[in-house]
Chain A
Amino acid sequence: KAGVTQTPRYLIKTRGQQVTLSCSPISGHRSVSWYQQTPGQGLQFLFEYFSETQRNKGNFPGRFSGRQFSNSRSEMNVSTLELGDSALYLCASSFGNIQETQYFGPGTRLLVL
């Protein structure tokens, strides 16, 4: 069974731009969560989607948004990029909810210049 895939793997943007990251969960998984990982803040929860609905949300500004499609694939968007948004963005999927084993993708490394 294929694992969680994320595209693109690497991305360079400039301040003020926006970016969209994509995540394909493991087949059959309906819950998709997004995380931001930085050296200073570690791994932080962004949001969780289930059945195309945002079910939980972390403490991030409204510039960070996401959505989930009917096939459980998910995208996250960051608008008006800031230098501090440079990070590894990780996606994880599980069958039904965040309290089940989550499987992580390799991440998208975003650099904002």
Chain B
Amino acid sequence: GENVGLHLPTLSVQEGDNSIINCAYSNSASDYFIWYKQESGKGPQFIIDIRSNMDKRQGQRVTVLLNKTVKHLSLQIAATQPGDSAVYFCAETLNDMRFGAGTRLTVKP
């Protein structure tokens, strides 16, 4: 079936560097996309979202980019901090919500 997939299962960055986490989605009809962060033992935490009528959305230290042409979503984290270490999921929604496999981000001090 259709699933949202992630390009990399793990990402390791140095504290202070920028991180980019990528996601490929398969349903061109999906119109709402979300990035979640999940720390060990906790439920996913909303980070940022974007609707299909936008290409870019910025939050505090985070930016989401949406490229509908190639069905690609990315999350950029500026000045990555140790507290950003977690698993990051992208999700697409239409009538239900489908998640990618997740990328484990490790921030080295």
User: Residues on A close to B: CB < 8 A?
Assistant: 4, 33, 35, 42-45, 48, 56-59, 90, 92, 98-99, 101-107
Inter-chain CA distance A105–B98, complex, in Å, is 17
Write the chain B residue with the least CB distance to A45.
B96
User: Residues on B close to A: CB < 8 A?
Assistant: 1, 31-32, 34, 36, 41-46, 49, 89, 91, 93, 95-102
* Shortest Cβ distance from residue B99 to the other chain A in the assembled complex, whole angstroms: 4
Across-interface contacts of B41 in A (CB, < 8 A): 106
Additional 7 contacts, C-beta under 8 A, given A43-B91, A45-B97, A105-B43: A42-B100, A59-B1, A90-B43, A99-B32, A101-B49, A104-B43, A106-B42
Identify whether the interface residues of A are mostly helix, strand, loop, or mixed.
Answer: strand
Inter-chain CA distance A8–B75, complex, in Å, is 33
Q: Which 3 A-B pairs rank lowest in CB-CB distance, beginning with the nearest? A: A104-B43, A43-B99, A99-B32
B89 contact from A43, A57, A59, Cβ within 8 A? A43
Contact B95–A56 (Cβ < 8 Å) = yes
* Shortest Cβ distance from residue A50 to the other chain B in the assembled complex, whole angstroms: 12
Inter-chain CA distance A102–B43, complex, in Å, is 11
